[in-house]
């Protein structure tokens, strides 16, 4: 928790997780107690809790880091960041973000027409930038151009060669001079999962020859003074700062050259990529990053200054499009565990003289296992278990004999696992044992809806119980979700600079809730979540800390069954009518009593208003 959670999350004396939305500058609250009181308000789990105060703090920190870097390097330009709307389009969140950003003239970045509509409606702070990225058609471009007349600062970033002629046409049509930017395909390669966002084969951006051609085309039309911004984006979650250093050096030179070619350069937009330390290891591992926000700002400011001084040009306003680094921390997804399947300790009965040789061999392996020979005995046990299954397939072992063989095999594995734990190091060939022997905890959640990146791209998020943290977690478990899809599971967890196949959890206590939190998932997860098996949006609340405690600012109810069914074109009334007709038929045929049919109809009708997740009562 210290590694990835500071300064927002910590563990209190009661063993519960504490949230301090303003870090050490403000109050804190007990997350488990908060969840209990929200449940009493009929807000069922799974529940997404957003803390707008954390969002504000992230924004303050980012701006403070750039302010400090600017002052440290005597940089003569400014910083004016934007938030990429695609990272989390939720209205309350964006309204808060725009409000928190006003003192900094913080703007928004749109990557599509619907996002442009959002950004135009919400962004009303004078001077804040509206960066228009993504694929554009004439409607997109003309809307953005006209918005200039509202006193906004939309910057249309040319990302495809075809957009140059679209912009020229729109200019001829409207007579409004746009502010333009150009996105460069840098040679400096990104790294990690999103590394292909840069380089010649990147989906977006103009190559250097294409940029030069675009400059000529704008010049011919008398629009070169409109070209004011250079943009690049080398991919999200930059884990290694050296990648950024190369990119910013190259971008600094392109910026200077554009200014020397006569463009009216004002802004250098370094895109997104500022990473989040999901595992707290502070390394260049993909779930971490080997730099902090201040290092990031320093490197950008210093490199851009160097390029400008070298070419005697004015230092630009720096723009960054950090999404993940701003939005990840503000939300916590809390879900309950519905049950578990635990591997109970097995003590097999001794093999008898008249039992099959395979069973006697397995038992012999089990009874002679010790700290010296466990690796060799593991391979023996594997071989005898395979023999048992082969013999069963050929009809030489009965079902009961096979069950006995498998039981002794698992008893061997359990014994070996204890020996490995005592010795502290795991031989390579025994690594899979720990996940094979782990318990499965069933969570009231859909991975596809709430943590899609875990399924799609093996993303790691910190996951842990939000209570009982003063008790040793003695179970080693993986997590299975509610969908009937074997991919709906979590079996990779954060380690220190590596992944772990199991999560340490507490044994379940009968009749008592066991709640886990998934942290740092505030970016991208909500919108990319899907309706697999028709598990819908979870309930969400916005919690703002006050001197007296907290305010529940907004409650956004999750999808009901009726809503998710309507997304796939079902009409609840028509469905109820169908069941009514079938119940009437069953009644007349004497298969059902009137009482039963009424009960069924009532349940069926009520279900449309129910939450798609399992209720815990």
Interface residues with ligand PLP (CB under 6 A)? 84, 87, 109, 133, 233, 236-237, 271-274, 321-325, 523
Sequence-separated contacts (24+) of 187-191 with Cβ below 8 Å: 187/250, 188/234, 188/243, 188/246, 188/247, 188/249, 188/250, 189/234, 189/243, 190/234, 190/235, 190/238, 190/243, 190/247, 190/273, 191/235, 191/238, 191/239, 191/240, 191/243
Cβ proximity to ligand PLP: between 52 and 323 the closer is 323
Residue nearest to ligand PLP (CB): 272
Rounded to a whole number of angstroms, the minimum distance from the CB of residue 167 to ligand PLP is: 18
Q: Quick one: which H or E segment has residue 296?
A: helix 293-311
CB of 131 to ligand PLP, least distance (A): 8
Tokens 């970016």, located at residue: 523
The residue annotated as part of the active site, out of 87, 132, 454, 484, is: 484
Closest distance to ligand PLP from the beta carbon of 200 (Å): 17
Q: Which of 511, 394, 524 is nearest to 452 (CA)?
A: 524
Give 134 or 562: the residue with its C-beta nearer to ligand PLP.
134
DSSP 178-242: PEEEEEB--SS---STTGGGSSTT-SSSB-HHHHHHHHHHHHHTT-GGGEEEEE----SSB--HH
- Flag whether 268 is marked binding: yes
Other residues' Cβ atoms within 10 Å of the Cβ of residue 372: 9
Strand 493-494 and strand 475-480: the pairing is unpaired
**Residue 132 bears catalytic tag:** no
Q: 277 labelled as ligand-binding?
A: yes
Element (H, E) at 337: strand 331-341
Tokens found for residue 518: 């998934």
Q: Which two tokens stand for residue 63?
A: 């701006």
Nearer to ligand PLP, 233 or 415 (CB): 233
**Separation CA 433–CA 419 (nearest Å):** 12
Residue 262's alpha-carbon distances to 216, 225, 251, 256, 267, in angstroms, are 10, 8, 17, 10, 14
279 closest CA partner among 492, 60, 30: 492
What's the longest Cα–Cα distance across the chain? 99
Cβ distance to ligand PLP smaller for residue 44 or 523: 523
Q: Which residues contact 260 (CB under 8 A, 6 or more apart)?
A: 311, 313
Candidates 227, 84, 106, 89; CA nearest to 163 is: 227
Give whichever of 80 and 324 is closer to ligand PLP, judged by the CB atom. 324
We find the least distance from the C-beta atom of residue 459 to ligand PLP, in angstroms, to be 12
Q: Please identify, using beta-carbon distances, which residue of 58 and 468 lies nearer to ligand PLP.
A: 58
Angle ∠(240,241,247) on CA atoms, nearest 5 = 110
Min dist. Cβ of residue 325 to ligand PLP (A)? 6
Please report how close the Cβ of residue 89 comes to ligand PLP at its closest, in angstroms.
Answer: 13
Q: Which is nearer to ligand PLP, 201 or 512 (CB)?
A: 201
- 274 labelled binding-site residue: yes
Sequence-ordered list of residues with C-beta below 8 angstroms from that of 233, at least 6 positions apart, any chain: 183, 197, 198, 204, 270, 271, 272, 273, 321
Distance between CA atoms of 103 and 99, rounded to whole angstroms? 8
Q: Binding site annotation covers 511? A: no
Closest CB to ligand PLP among 433 and 523?
523
Distance CA(61)–CA(80), nearest Å, equals 13
Q: Is 274 helix (H, G, I), strand (E, B) or coil?
A: strand
* Cα–Cα dist 174/156, whole Å: 15
Residue 134 counted as an annotated binding residue = no
199 is in an annotated binding site: no
Nearer CB in complex with ligand PLP: 236/336 = 236
Q: What's the distance, CA 62 to chain centroid?
A: 20
Task: Tell me how far, at minimum, the Cβ of 110 lies from ligand PLP, in Å.
Answer: 10
CB 295 to ligand PLP: min, Å: 16
Query: Is 270 annotated to bind ligand?
Result: yes
Nearer Cβ to ligand PLP, position 185 or 377? 185
Backbone region of residue 533 per phi and psi (left: phi > 0; alpha: psi in -120 to 50; beta: other values):
left
| CA distances (Å), origin 511, targets 261, 611, 617 | 73, 22, 10
State the minimum distance, in angstroms, from the CB of residue 181 to ligand PLP: 11
For the CB of residue 232, give the shortest distance to ligand PLP in the complex, in Å. 9
343 touches 255 (CB < 8 A): no
Query: Binding site residues for substrate, as ranges?
Result: 268-278
The annotated binding site is made up of: 268-278
Which are the catalytic amino acids?
Answer: 484
């Amino acid at each position: 928790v210290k590694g990835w959670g500071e300064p927002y999350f910590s563990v209190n004396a009661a063993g519960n997780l504490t949230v301090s939305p303003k870090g050490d500058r403000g109050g804190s609250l007990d997350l488990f107690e908060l969840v209990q009181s929200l449940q009493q308000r009929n807000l069922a789990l799974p529940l997404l809790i957003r803390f707008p105060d954390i969002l504000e703090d992230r924004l303050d920190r980012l701006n403070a880091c750039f302010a400090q870097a600017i002052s440290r390097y005597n940089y003569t330009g400014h910083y004016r960041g934007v938030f990429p709307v695609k990272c989390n389009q939720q209205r309350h969140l964006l309204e808060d973000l725009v409000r928190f950003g006003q003192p900094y003239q913080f703007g928004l970045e749109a990557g599509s027409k619907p996002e442009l509509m959002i950004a135009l409606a919400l962004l009303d702070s004078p001077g804040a930038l509206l960066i228009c990225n993504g694929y554009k058609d004439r409607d997109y471009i003309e809307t953005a151009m006209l918005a200039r007349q509202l006193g906004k600062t939309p910057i249309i970033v040319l990302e495809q060669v075809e957009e140059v002629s679209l912009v020229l046409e729109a200019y001829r049509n409207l007579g409004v001079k746009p502010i333009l930017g150009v996105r460069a395909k840098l040679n400096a390669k990104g790294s990690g999962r999103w590394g292909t966002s840069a380089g010649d084969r990147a989906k977006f951006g103009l190559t250097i020859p294409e940029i030069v051609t675009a400059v000529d085309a704008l010049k011919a039309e008398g629009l070169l003074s409109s070209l004011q911004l250079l943009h690049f984006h080398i991919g999200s979650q930059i884990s290694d700062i050296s990648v950024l250093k190369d990119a910013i050096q190259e971008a600094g030179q392109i910026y200077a050259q554009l200014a020397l070619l006569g463009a009216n350069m004002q802004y250098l937009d370094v895109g997104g990529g500022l990473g989040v330390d999901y595992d707290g290891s502070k390394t260049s591992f993909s779930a971490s990053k080997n730099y902090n926000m201040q290092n990031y700002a320093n490197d950008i400011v210093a490199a851009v200054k160097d390029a400008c001084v070298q070419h005697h040009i004015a230092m630009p306003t720096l723009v960054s499009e950090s999404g993940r680094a701003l939005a990840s921390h503000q939300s916590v997804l809390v879900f309950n565990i519905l049950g578990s399947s635990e591997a109970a300790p097995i003590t097999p009965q001794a093999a008898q003289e008249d039992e099959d040789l395979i069973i006697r061999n397995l038992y012999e392996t089990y009874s002679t296992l010790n700290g010296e020979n466990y690796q060799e005995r593991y391979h023996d046990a594997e071989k005898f278990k395979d023999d048992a299954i082969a013999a069963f397939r050929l009809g030489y072992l009965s079902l009961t004999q096979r069950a006995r063989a498998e039981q002794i095999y698992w008893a061997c594995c359990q014994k070996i696992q204890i020996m490995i734990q005592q010795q502290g190091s795991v031989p390579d060939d025994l690594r899979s044992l720990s996940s094979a022997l782990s318990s499965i905890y069933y969570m009231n959640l859909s991975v596809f809806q709430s943590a899609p990146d875990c399924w799609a791209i093996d993303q790691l998020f910190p996951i842990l119980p939000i209570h009982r943290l003063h008790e040793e977690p003695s179970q080693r478990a993986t997590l299975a979700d509610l969908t009937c899809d074997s991919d709906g599971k979590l079996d990779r967890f954060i380690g220190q600079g590596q992944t772990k196949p199991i999560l340490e959890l507490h044994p379940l206590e009968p009749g008592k809730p066991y709640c886990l939190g998934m942290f740092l998932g505030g970016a991208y997860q909500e919108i990319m979540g899907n309706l697999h098996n028709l598990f819908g949006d979870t309930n969400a609340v916005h919690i703002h800390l006050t001197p007296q405690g907290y305010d529940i600012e907004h409650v956004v109810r999750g999808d009901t069954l009726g809503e998710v069914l309507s997304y796939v074109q079902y009409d609840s009334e028509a469905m109820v009518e169908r069941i009514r007709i079938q119940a009437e038929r069953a009644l007349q045929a004497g298969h059902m009593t009137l009482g039963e049919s009424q009960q069924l109809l009532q349940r069926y009708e009520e279900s449309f208003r129910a939450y798609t997740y399992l209720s815990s009562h």
